[in-house]
Structure 1
Amino acid sequence: MPVWALQDAKAKFSQLVRRAQSEGPQTISVRGEPAVVMLSVETYRRLQPNRRSFVEIVRSGPDTQLDLHREQTTVRDIEW
């Protein structure tokens, strides 16, 4: 994986982006130590797990006819 010094990455940002898209991940170092990796969106999405939304998870459960009606009455009397 190519390594770019932070100063070079800033000076040649457009080139860095193009290379991340065409050649794959690009490492950016700070003071000689790897700090971050630039990825194309395609690579990033491929690395992400397939996450379902909360609504999808609930809907895929055994009881898809779930009645979520909330009772509007108070649970207990409140003294003022």
Structure 2
Amino acid sequence: MHTWQMQEAKARMSELVKLAQAQPQQITSHGKPVAVVLSRESFDRLSQAQGSLVDFMRRSPLFGADDVVFERDSSLTRELVF
């Protein structure tokens, strides 16, 4: 992944976008990574919906099992001093 300083990214935006079509481009500000520019195709692939929470729960190996027991922690709670 190529890294661009914010100032350079602003000055060469069209080149940055063209390169992002091939691979993600990282942008830094004050030496710290702050953003990544990637192709629309990559974005769509990464952000596509994976289904609802209900669908996820139905795919669980425990779906439909009535004998599942979740044990609670039996340790004492700690005392708080105010």
**Same topology, TM > 0.5:** yes
Q: Report how many residues are paired.
A: 53
Structure 1 runs of 4+ with >3 Å offset: none
Name stretches of at least 5 consecutive residues in structure 1 with no aligned partner.
58-80
2:41 is equivalent to residue 38 of structure 1 = no
Matched, 1:16 2:25: no
Deviation string, structure 1 residues 53-79 (Cα, Å, up to 9, x no partner): 9xxx9xxxxxxxxxxxxxxxxxxxxxx
Deviation at 1:48, TM superposition (A): 1.4
Q: Which has the larger radius of gyration?
A: 1
- The secondary structure found in structure 2 opposite 1:19 is helix
Report the CA distance between 1:51 and its aligned residue. 4.8
Q: List alignment gaps of at least 5 residues for structure 2.
A: 56-82
TM-score of the two chains, using structure 1 as the length reference: 0.59
Q: Which amino acid aligns with 1:3?
A: T
Identity of counterpart residues, as a percentage?
Answer: 43
The alignment yields a C-alpha RMSD, in angstroms, of 1.8
